[in-house]
Amino acid sequence: MLCEGAIMIALSLVLGLLKVFELPQGGSVSLEMLPLLLFCVRWGMGGGLIACFAFGILQVFIQGAVSWGWQSILLDYVLAFGVIGVAGLGKGKPGGIFWGSILGGAARFIIHYISGITIYKIVAPTEIFGTVFDNPSLYSLVYNGSYVGIDIVLCLVIFGILYAPLKKYFTGADLKK
């Protein structure tokens, strides 16, 4: 588990550097959640939380952090990526890779959303996607939803394509004795 966790964290860090697009206040579309979600669903929530928190901490140092102080680093990196570990609740369950991914991605979004309405409200009013936002709650919903939602959908599509040939790995059947 330890070796697989280290490999998945490293792969996530590399995939996080390959961004489809990046938003001005941080946040980007990438496949960095893919290996983390797979690890969580294979090994469960305990190991998943540890691996995801480790990824969040390493991400600050390796990929760099866009922040407005230590609070936003704690929320947008350590906690937001750490809670992806709840995807581990899908371990051993039918379709666990899919609903676990949705659960982990939703948990990440919730932390980013909280960060947006508490810390990043200082940038309001602001414009994004051609619309000016005065309301920090709506801004955070649109801003964070725009990239986290796409990340979740990309992961689900890739897991859907790979599910039939790699089902025993997605369900952790290869780990059973």
Dihedral (C-alpha) 111, 113, 118, 123: value to the nearest 10 degrees? 130
Domain ranges of the chain: 2-17+24-175
3 state SS of 154: helix
- Residue 99 reports pLDDT greater than 80: yes
Q: What is the CATH number of domain 2-17+24-175?
A: 1.10.1760.20
Looking at residue 39, its amino acid is F
Query: Which residues contact residue 161 at a Cβ distance below 8 angstroms, ignoring those fewer than 6 apart?
Result: none
Distance CA 80, CA 113 (A): 10
Residue 68, CA distances (Å) to 16, 26, 74, 114 in order: 21, 11, 11, 14
pTM: 0.88
Position 173 scores a pLDDT of: 83
pLDDT, tens only, 62-91: 877 666 677 778 888 899 999 999 999 999
Burial 37-73 (b: 16+ CB within 10 A, else e): bbbbbbbbbebbbbbbbbbbebbbeebeebbeeeebb
The bridge status of strand 28-29 relative to strand 131-133 is unpaired
Nearest CA-CA partner of 107 in 169, 167, 36? 36
The pLDDT score that the predictor gives to residue 138 is 84
- Beta bridge mates, 128: 131
pLDDT reported for residue 88? 95
Q: What percent of the chain has pLDDT over 70?
A: 90
